[in-house]
Amino acid sequence: MYRCVIVSIILYSVLSRTTLSSYVDPHYLACEPQTCGNQSIRYPFYIQGKQQPFCGYPGFAISCDSNGFLILSLSNTPYIIHQIFYHNQSLRVSNAAFSSANNTNTPDSCISAAHNLTLPPTSTFNLVHQNNHKDIVLFFGCNLSSMPLELLDYRIGCSEATNKTDGSVLALYKDDVKTVSLVSKSCGTGGEVVDAVVEESEGVGIEEKLRRGFMLNWTASDCKLCNSTGGRCGFNSTIFTFQCYCTDRIHASKCVISDGRSKASMMMGLALGLGKGIDRSSFFGAFHITI
């Protein structure tokens, strides 16, 4: 009898350690937050190649380039993510075509003639409308030699598709109708004209405002309840359902702490059942379990 009890205790100890402590749900492990540059990436975003798609929300796939910049693609246009604010579901982005050109911070930085320097309409990301927003217009391919001298102050770089002398980029506020009209005539009809939005800031030029970008809000299933209970959020695209990945298993919205006593009782019962099946005569030798 005593030997049976001892064996049961040993089995209970082994089973409880293995079952209750060692097992961690693979989805929970896979969705551990990752970093890119100095930013922590978690739901609703996921880094392609480093995190599984089920760790994020549809449409929130991002990439981490070799320089540590986060890139979000919207309507096939790359945007640099400068900062993510998880607490209010917002982020600051700027068009990568302009931002990368300004990394050198020199007047000779060439800018690609992107067709869109603002945000294309999506159901997931929306522009945060603010009182300090200003509409601007960019003129590409302007020939400096044929322009009035007073227009040179609006030059922010060269046009990537042309050379640095004959292909300048000029940026003006859209409400400056007189100057916009003058530049339109001076640049001719050969260059591209692109609309953009910037946030006004004292003592900062238009090129820096474009590089700083603008704020967006995002729409995705809320993760706060899952996080507050120790879980990691994810999404099942097959059934289009939010999921909360917990250490024990997948839950619908939050991690539920199971009754430890119930688990202990279950394990003890299993151990006692196995203990009774052990041949007492072989307890100190090579014992076997009878079935």
Q: How far apart are CA 281 and CA 57, in angstroms?
A: 59
Q: How far apart are CA 180 and CA 174, in angstroms?
A: 7
Percentage of the residues of the chain whose pLDDT score is greater than 70 = 70
**Does an H or E element contain 231, and which?**
none
Residue 282 lies in a domain: no
Residue 245 lies in a domain: no
- Tokens of residue 143, six digits: 């020939």
Tally the domains of the chain: 1
Q: How far apart are CA 17 and CA 174, in angstroms?
A: 68
Residue 85's DSSP bridge partners are: 90
- Number of Cβ within 10 Å of residue 214's Cβ equals 23
- What does the pLDDT look like over 145-168, one tens digit per residue? 778 888 888 888 887 665 555 678
- Tokens of residue 70, six digits: 């986060």
- For the segment 217-232, the average pLDDT, to the nearest whole number, is 94
Residue 34 lies in a domain: no
Residue 190 has pLDDT above 80, yes or no: no
The pLDDT of residue 285: 42
Average pLDDT, rounded, for the chain: 77
pLDDT band at 176 (very low <50, low <70, confident <90, very high): very high
Residue 123 lies in a domain: yes
Q: Which is it for the CA torsion 186, 188, 192, 196, positive or negative?
A: positive
From the list 196, 212, 204, the residue with the least C-alpha distance to 140 is 196
End-to-end CA distance of the chain: 19
* Better-predicted residue by pLDDT, 235 or 151: 235
- For the segment 56-69, the average pLDDT, to the nearest whole number, is 94
The pLDDT of residue 57: 96
The number of residues making up the chain comes to 291
- What does the pLDDT look like over 106-144, one tens digit per residue? 545 577 766 555 566 667 888 887 778 888 888 888 887
Residue 170 has pLDDT above 50, yes or no: yes
DSSP letter, residue 21: I
- What does the pLDDT look like over 252-277, one tens digit per residue? 999 986 654 334 433 433 444 444 44
**Structural domain span for residue 131:** 67-219
* Better-predicted residue by pLDDT, 212 or 241: 241
The pLDDT of residue 290: 36
- For the segment 209-220, the average pLDDT, to the nearest whole number, is 89
Residue 81 lies in a domain: yes
Q: Work out the widest C-alpha separation in the chain, in whole angstroms.
A: 107
Q: How far apart are CA 78 and CA 94, in angstroms?
A: 9
Q: How far apart are CA 47 and CA 168, in angstroms?
A: 36
Residue 139 lies in a domain: yes
The pLDDT of residue 258: 64
Segment among 52-56, 62-66, 106-110, 279-283 with least mean pLDDT = 279-283
The pLDDT of residue 192: 76
* Better-predicted residue by pLDDT, 146 or 173: 173
**Does an H or E element contain 178, and which?**
helix 177-187
Residue 255 lies in a domain: no
- Tokens of residue 284, six digits: 């100190």
The residue type found at 115 is H
Q: What is the DSSP pairing of strand 110-111 with strand 155-159?
A: parallel
- Tokens of residue 9, six digits: 């205790």
In this prediction the pTM is: 0.71
Residue 126 lies in a domain: yes
Please work out, in degrees rounded to the nearest 5, the angle formed at the alpha carbon of residue 140 by the alpha carbons of 112 and 142.
Answer: 135
The pLDDT of residue 101: 45
Locus of tokens 């996080």: 227
